[in-house]
Structure formats: structure tokens, C-alpha cells
A and B are shown apart, each in its own frame.
Chain A
Amino acid sequence: MQKAMMSMRQNICIMVLFLVGSSAIMGGSWGVGQDAWIALLIALGFGSIIVLVYARIIHLYPEMDLCDIAQAVFGKIIGKVIIVLMSWYAIHLGVILLRLLSEFINIVALQETPQLPMMIIILAVTGYIAFSGIETLGRLAIIALPLYLFINLYTMTLSVTDIKFSNLLPIMEHSFNALLMASLKIFTTTFAGTVIFLFFADGVKKKNNPYKIYLYSIFISALLLLAIFFLSVMVLGVPMLEKEYFPFYTAVRTINMGEFLSRIELMIFYNFLLGSIVKISVCLLAAEKGLQKVFNIKNKGQVLAIVSFFILIVGMFEFDSVIEIFNFTEFYQYYVLPFQIVIPILLWIGAEMKMGRRRSR
């Protein structure tokens, strides 16, 4: 089987789309109101550090993905355990995203459509993308990301007449403690999620610099997230920002230019759909790669079908409603830390030690 190689641009595009995908409609209710941009910057700081760890792992073992690296560093048995854990992380992320997407469609647009058929259709699309491989996803991302950015830019320019800079004041009204808690939330839900790309490290060509890929993606997506947040808070105001489930979506709903240019929020809806599909495809691909290696199944279609089915069932039953999804994020930010921080750091330390031993020989 020919290995799928991706250009640097494809890598960056997929990663950026992954990072901002579900924020296309969110944009800011992390409990700190108008100071969330400070929390975002703090999270960006921590994110850059952890991302350096990820990039270092890739750098030490070029053109090998997480499964191979884990087995090379820790041996077959522990390596397989690590792969299973990380695949579970990818599956759970996929479940949450799928459920969030179908709930959003349900609340906003198709209120009477039951969620099961919606989820099946979404999984069919993402399953097909995953089946076509990471290379296809890369090519999709190169076209999809400019479109996503264009739609965002367009809606932001249109709402420029409604913004009130005074909504950002007073600055630093919230305690530093609250800001740190919020930045933890942002860190675990966005920046540290890039740990999943360790699964695709074998697509990074040896001559490409993994540090560049990770850092570029992080900074571009941080810029986007900041822009979305600033727009949401300046148009809506702080009480609305905290109360709405989907602040950016609501902010775009208030655009009414010249009395005929309204209902632009459908474009944001489309953005969210696009971003979520890319994100879910990435999760499916990661889980499929991991489980294929662990259970030694040759037919990747089989693995994908099983993983998709599993995600569907869990997605239907894990949450009762949107309320539970949003409450789950309180728990999720801690639950996900072992996958995002502990395992990669262990891998890194193990890799450094192995490399050191090899060099000294």
C-alpha cells in the first residue's frame, strides 16, 4: 500500500479547519464574559508549549505515525495499550462532535427531523471521506479552508456597523483564577486537540518541519477564534454572550443591512457543518488507523464501518439533550488531560531517552 504523503499546506489546512471547526458557531461563552480574549491568549501560550512536545515527537521519528512510535518507544504491549487509549480519545471526540452537530441542526433549522437519520447521513459522508484516506482529506481542506475564511470575513464585515467597542470594557473585571479556569477549557477543547494529528504523522514528509506545521496552525486558528469572539461580544454584549448556547450564530442573526441583507446566519450554519464534517472525518480516520494496527485487520472498510456504528450508537445514548452536552464540557476538560498531556509527554520522554541511547552507541 502506498503511503499517503501530504504537503505542508495540506497539513496546516486540515489542522486549522479541525481547530476552528466547531467554533464557527460558538465563539465565547466560557464564563468570563468580555475577558475571554485574555483567557484565549493564555490558552494559546500553554497550547504553544504542548504543541512543541507533539512536534518534537514527530521530529524524532520522522514519517512514522503514533502507532509505530508508541510501539518503538515502549515495546509492543504497552505501545498497543497506548494506541487503544488514544483511539478511544478520537472516538469519544467524534461522538461529542456528531451529537453537537445534529443537535444544532435540530434546534436551529430542522426541528421536526429526528436525529438518528441525520446522524446516519453525516456518518455516511464522513465515513466515505475517511475511507478515501488522509490525502483526500488534505485536498478537501485546501479548498474548504479558504471558503470557510471567506464566509467568516464576509459576515464579520457586514456586522461591523453594529459593533460597540464599549462592550469589551471593563477589562480584567474577572479574577485571574477565573481566567485560568476558562483558559483550561479553551486549551483542552481546541489547541490540545491537535494531539490527534500524531496519528497522521506518517503523512508528514521528512523534509517538512513539524514545528512549523503545528505553530502556524495554532496561531492562525487563535487569530480566527479571537476574531469570532470579538465580533460576538461587541455585537451582542456580555449578558447575551453568556446566556446563548451559540453566541456567534446569534450575533450573525442580528445583521440586517439595508433591510434586505439579512438571514446571513445560514452561511455560518454551513461553515459549522463543513468544519464539523472535517473534524469528524479526522476522528474517524485516527480511530481507524489505531484500531487497524492494534487488531491487525487488513480491510480498512470493515474497521471504519465498526467505528462509525459504534459512534452512532454511543452518540444516540450518551447524552439526553443539549444541556447534557454543555454540562459535559465541565467534566471533559479534566477527563481529556491524560490523553492530551500525560501520554504525549511520556512518549516524548521515552523517545528522547531512546534517541539519546542510540546516539551514545
Chain B
Amino acid sequence: MKIGVIAIKRLVGILLILILCTLLSGCWNYRGLNKLSIVTGVAVDRKDDNNYQLTMETVDLTAASKESAGKSQIIQSEGKTMFEAIRNAKKRVTKKLYFSDMKVLVVSNQIAREEGIKSILDFFMRDAEPRETVIPIISQEKTAKEIFAASGVDAKIISEELQKMIDKDSETTASTRKIANYQVFNMLQGEKEMSLVMPAVHLVLNNEKKVVEVNGIAIFKADKLKGYLSPEDTHYYLFTVDEVKGGILTFPSNEKNQKWYDDLSFEIAKNKTKRSYSYDGNRLKFILDIKTTAVLDEVGADIDVIKKENIEKIKSTADRVFTDRLESVIKKEQIEFGCDIFGIGTMIHKSNPLLWSQLKENWEYYIQTMEVEVRPEFLIINTGLEK
């Protein structure tokens, strides 16, 4: 080929590359970071008969500096459905709301009691932006938006603080249970063997300011809220589902002479619960083998803990008191709610599907008449620096 033709071909090629690069590099969907409002948490309330009211906590990145993670802003909007309410927010803000960083979803207990949370959760699962790992929470206050109006003790962004509190909770106080959106969906759909539990929060006065505090779990029947378990009861409940990684148990040092300031504190280092069941044709029996490794970190009474018989006495008291308390929590749950929050249905379904299909129609009856056998075993590994 002649040199002229080659040169023209090369020139056309280079021109095409330049044009294509400029045309294809921006895209239809370009959104600059300064035009986004990053939503970290959403609170859902009912406004009047037809409308939801959404309160969204967003992070304002322009104020971000090395010390603070940015200020949080509150945006409120209303609408008949979740998506409509979110779109209506656009009437008040210039920036586009960006949900991929959303961490928590706070639902007011009124909505959870009356209509159930399934319809609310659907948008956050279906839309591609919010992630499936959002943590849904029930607000025990009158509305959900009060949670965002509180001031956090540590951070300025409440959603982040809530998420971190619930995340780390099982290792520290074991007073609530973390659950992600997709796990909620699994429990509400499918075989419906297990009843849903969600973390519950409320506001509490801390040094003249209202702060958020995690307060046990909320118990659901299908997708409607039924009631709550207090943080102490939740701690025992977590033993039944083998989700205890830490926490403090307090026991009286002397069962007869129970002065509350003489109590002992066990700090749980490790816990393993073996769950099993037995069915005798009429009633279910739930058997728990609990092995707890604990550190005796506070001894209120004047006991010499290095003496072997003292340790044995402490252990046996702990065993008895623990069994009593755990059984009373389970019994209370059975009578008050009658929901299978312990996951026994799931256990039966996975190990013996035939038995499950037999029992599942009257499952509530079986839960309410269930017997419980607790076999605790405490192992005290050390008692701190003192004898």
C-alpha cells in the first residue's frame, strides 16, 4: 500500500480514538460526590392515616475534617410508601440522596405493632442502593425520629453509633441481638420456623442530655411486634441461641443471706451452648448444655476465693441461680409471647424434616407446652489479681 494511504488510515484511527475517549468517558449516570447526600440512617413513623414520615440522617461531607467525621443533618419527608417519601424529600434538598452507606433503619413501635414491618423492609431489600446488611431497629420511644434527635455520647452521627453499639454488643454486654435485613427477610419468608427478634433502642438521660441506649430485643410474631425482653433477660435468651461472646453475670455469694452488695460478678470469656431437643410424642423438651468459661472479677463479700471449697460453693450457687433465672426467662417468654425465638423449629426442620411437617401446624401449642432442661457448667479460670 502507498505511504499516503497508511498515513490517512493512522490519522483516522487516532482521531477516532480521541473522539471515543472524550465521548465515552463521562457517562449518563455521573454523580459527583459533592452532589450527593449520604444517608446513614432512616427512621420510619406514621404521620396520619395514609402517610409515612421518614426522618433521614445524612452526613455532610463538606464539613469533614480530621477530628470529626462530619456533621449530621436531618431531612424529613412524607409519602404513602417508602419510595414516595424518599422522592418527596427531593423537594427540600438540592443534593441527591445516596443510600449505599445506610447503616440502620429505625422503625417506630407503633408501625411494628399495627401493620408489621414487612412492607417497610421491602423497599430496602429490593432497591439496589441500600445494602442488605442494614440493621433494622425498633424504637421504644413514642416515635422513631426522636432517636435521631438525641445526641450521641461518642460520635455525632447517631446511625453510626447505633450500628457500632449493636455490632460490638455480643462481646461486651450481650444485651441485644444483631440482625441484618437479609436475615430478617429469611425469617419472615420461607418456612417461618423461627420468630423474628430485633434490637430495641430507647433514649435515656446521661448527664442532662438524652442519649440512645440499646435496650434488649423486640419479639415479633410473623412480622408484627409483640413485646420486648429486657436487657438482662436478653442476656439469658442469648445463651439459648448460643450467641454469647461476653457479658457479665452477677450471682449472690450466699443464697440465704442475699445482700445485693455482696454479689459476685462473673465476666464471661467464652461460652458454648449445645442445643438439643427430644420429643416424646406429646411434648417437646428443649435441652441446653451450657459450658461457660468465666473470670471472677468482682467479689462483693469477704470470701477467700483461693480456697477450694469456696470456689466449689460459688460454682454450685452460680449453677443453681443461673438455671433458675434462665428457666424463668424461657417460661416468661413462653407464657407471654408463645413465639419460637429460640430456633427450635429450625433445629427440628434441619435434622428431621418429617417431624417438622408433623408439628408445624400446631407449633405455637408445642412451644407453649415445651419443657426446658438446663445443664450449666461454669469454669472459673482466674479471679483477677487478688485471692
Q: Chain A residues in contact with chain B, CB under 8 A?
A: 107-114, 121, 166, 169-170, 173, 236-240, 243, 250, 253-254, 256, 262-263
B-side interface size class: 20 to 34
A256, B164: Cα distance in complex, Å: 13
Contact of A236 (CB < 8 Å), options: B28, B182, B346:
B182
**Residue ID in chain A nearest B357 by CB atoms:** A173
A110-B182 CB under 8 A given contacts A170-B349, A239-B189: no
Q: Is the CB of B28 within 8 A of A254?
A: no
Given A112-B29, A237-B182, A238-B186, 20 new contacts (CB under 8 A): A110-B27, A113-B27, A113-B29, A121-B24, A166-B346, A169-B349, A169-B351, A170-B353, A236-B182, A239-B185, A239-B186, A240-B182, A240-B189, A243-B185, A243-B189, A253-B133, A254-B131, A254-B133, A254-B180, A263-B100
Q: Is the CB of A170 within 8 A of B28?
A: no
- With most chain B CB atoms within 10 A of its CB, the pick from A114, A253, A263 is A253
Q: Is the CB of B351 within 8 A of A170?
A: yes
B132 interface residue per 8 A CB criterion: yes
Q: Is the CB of B350 within 8 A of A110?
A: no
B residues near A109, Cβ cutoff 8 Å: 29
B6 interface residue per 8 A CB criterion: no
Instruction: Write the nearest CB–CB distance from B142 to chain A, whole angstroms.
Output: 32
A243, B351: Cα distance in complex, Å: 24
Q: Is the CB of A237 within 8 A of B186?
A: yes
B residues near A250, Cβ cutoff 8 Å: 132, 182
A238, B132: Cα distance in complex, Å: 15
A residues near B316, Cβ cutoff 8 Å: none
B128 interface residue per 8 A CB criterion: yes
B190 interface residue per 8 A CB criterion: yes
Q: What are 18 A-to-B residue pairs whose CB atoms are below 8 Å? A: A113-B28, A113-B29, A166-B346, A166-B350, A169-B349, A169-B350, A169-B351, A170-B349, A170-B351, A236-B182, A238-B186, A239-B185, A240-B185, A240-B189, A253-B131, A254-B133, A254-B182, A262-B131
B residues near A243, Cβ cutoff 8 Å: 185, 189
Cβ proximity bits B351-369 to A, threshold 8 Å, 1 near / 0 not: 1010000000000000000
A residues near B346, Cβ cutoff 8 Å: 166
Contact of B353 (CB < 8 Å), options: A107, A113, A173, A237:
A173
Instruction: Write the nearest CB–CB distance from A58 to chain B, whole angstroms.
Output: 39
B310 interface residue per 8 A CB criterion: no
A residues near B190, Cβ cutoff 8 Å: 237-239
B278 interface residue per 8 A CB criterion: no
A residues near B350, Cβ cutoff 8 Å: 166, 169-170
Q: Is the CB of A108 within 8 A of B128?
A: yes
Contact of A237 (CB < 8 Å), options: B24, B183, B349:
B183
Residues of B103-134 whose CB lies within 8 A of A: 128, 131-133
**Residue ID in chain B nearest A117 by CB atoms:** B28
Instruction: Write the nearest CB–CB distance from A176 to chain B, whole angstroms.
Output: 15
A residues near B349, Cβ cutoff 8 Å: 169-170
Top 6 closest pairs, chain A to chain B, by CB: A239-B190, A169-B350, A239-B189, A113-B28, A237-B186, A110-B29
Q: Is the CB of B28 within 8 A of A112?
A: yes
A residues near B24, Cβ cutoff 8 Å: 121
- With most chain B CB atoms within 10 A of its CB, the pick from A108, A243, A262 is A243
A residues near B182, Cβ cutoff 8 Å: 236-237, 240, 250, 254
**Residue ID in chain A nearest B23 by CB atoms:** A117
A121, B21: Cα distance in complex, Å: 12
A247, B351: Cα distance in complex, Å: 25
Q: Is the CB of A114 within 8 A of B28?
A: yes
Q: Is the CB of B132 within 8 A of A254?
A: yes
Q: Is the CB of B186 within 8 A of A111?
A: no
A256, B131: Cα distance in complex, Å: 11
A263, B182: Cα distance in complex, Å: 16
A110, B30: Cα distance in complex, Å: 9
**Residue ID in chain B nearest A34 by CB atoms:** B350
Q: Is the CB of B132 within 8 A of A253?
A: yes
Contact of B128 (CB < 8 Å), options: A107, A113, A254, A262:
A107
Q: Is the CB of A256 within 8 A of B133?
A: yes
Instruction: Write the nearest CB–CB distance from B78 to chain A, whole angstroms.
Output: 24
A64, B334: Cα distance in complex, Å: 74
Instruction: Write the nearest CB–CB distance from A172 to chain B, whole angstroms.
Output: 9
A239, B186: Cα distance in complex, Å: 5
**Residue ID in chain A nearest B343 by CB atoms:** A166
Q: Is the CB of B131 within 8 A of A240?
A: no
A196, B353: Cα distance in complex, Å: 43
**Residue ID in chain B nearest A236 by CB atoms:** B182
Residues of B311-368 whose CB lies within 8 A of A: 346, 349-351, 353
A262, B180: Cα distance in complex, Å: 15
**Residue ID in chain A nearest B131 by CB atoms:** A253
A residues near B128, Cβ cutoff 8 Å: 107-108, 111
A residues near B180, Cβ cutoff 8 Å: 254
